[in-house]
Amino acid sequence: MQYRSKDSPNKLPAVTLGFWVVKIAATTLGETGGDAVTMSMHLGYLVGTAIFATLFIVAVAAQISVRRFHPFLYWAVIVATTTAGTTLADFVDRSLGIGYLGGSSLLLVLLLLSLAVWYRALGTVSVESVVTPKAQVFYWTTIMFSQTLGTALGDWMADSTGLGYSGGALVFGAALAIVVAAYYWTDVSRTVLFWAAFILTRPLGATVGDFLDKPLANGGLALSRYAATAVLAAFIVACIALIPQRAGRHPA
């Protein structure tokens, strides 16, 4: 089966160190930005989810419609998934009352189901195949579930295990280091390692974001959610502008 042709350019960025730096910053911004809308603005999880889900749908439609790779557009969609994932996970975990473990389990099932349907439809879940509108819909659906799962998993690790936000960040950072080691020193499928790293960066960013803005009594630094979000947004824009951005194979 052929997935790529000269008429189907890759609209995804090459996976480099810069890619992962921006990805972690975007997941951290998703936590502070999502909490700023739902908590600091007192709009609630349902309204926050509706706002960010709308932005996500609009951004994905724009991403699918363009004919070539646009760095700022791609990362805008990623940020939309992280903010929507934050509010949606909080709604599932807290408003629906199923708890962090229940929410994480439900979202894990949805993520695996998304990957299974994608594989059954196209014969692969490698992001090298993401060149058609159908493949792009699977790609962004899977990313949306992974970002939402990451939020729930990060909250569960920080709040339910007693590790706190900094401890949770260390756990997910260590897990990510294991994936990096597997990339360099084993023959484990690069597609599996890519998705493992992509999923793990989300709870890492979620716990770091919570560490920045949660109250001191809860183990956070009590920084302004608005200020933290603004600084992270500026950092992401600077990275996109200064770090070479090019379309490329996934994973590089």
pLDDT tens string 61-85:
999 999 889 999 999 999 999 999 9
DSSP SS3 for 164: helix
Which residues, including other chains, have CB under 8 Å from residue 174's CB and lie 6 or more apart? none
pLDDT, mean over the chain: 88
Question: What is the pTM for the complete model shown?
Answer: 0.90
d(CA 123, CA 120): 6
| Whole-number pLDDT of residue 7 | 45
CA proximity to 76, closest of 252, 243, 242, 233: 233
Number of Cβ atoms within 10 Å of the Cβ of 235: 16
Banded model confidence at residue 137, pLDDT cuts 50, 70, 90: very high
Q: What is the pLDDT of residues 198-229, one digit of tens each?
A: 999 999 998 998 888 888 877 788 889 999 99
| Whole-number pLDDT of residue 73 | 96
Higher-confidence residue of 162 and 43: namely 43
Mean pLDDT, rounded, for 29-42: 93
Q: What is the pLDDT of residues 156-181, one digit of tens each?
A: 888 888 888 888 899 999 999 999 99
Backbone angles phi, psi at 133, to 5 degrees: -55, -40
| Whole-number pLDDT of residue 194 | 93
- Least-confidence region, from 15-29, 99-113, 135-149, 209-223: 209-223
Mean pLDDT, rounded, for 92-118: 89
Banded model confidence at residue 187, pLDDT cuts 50, 70, 90: very high
Q: What is the pLDDT of residues 223-251, one digit of tens each?
A: 899 999 999 999 999 999 998 888 765 44
For residue 194, give the amino acid letter. Answer: F
pLDDT-above-90 percentage for the chain = 61
In which element (H, E) is residue 187 found?
none
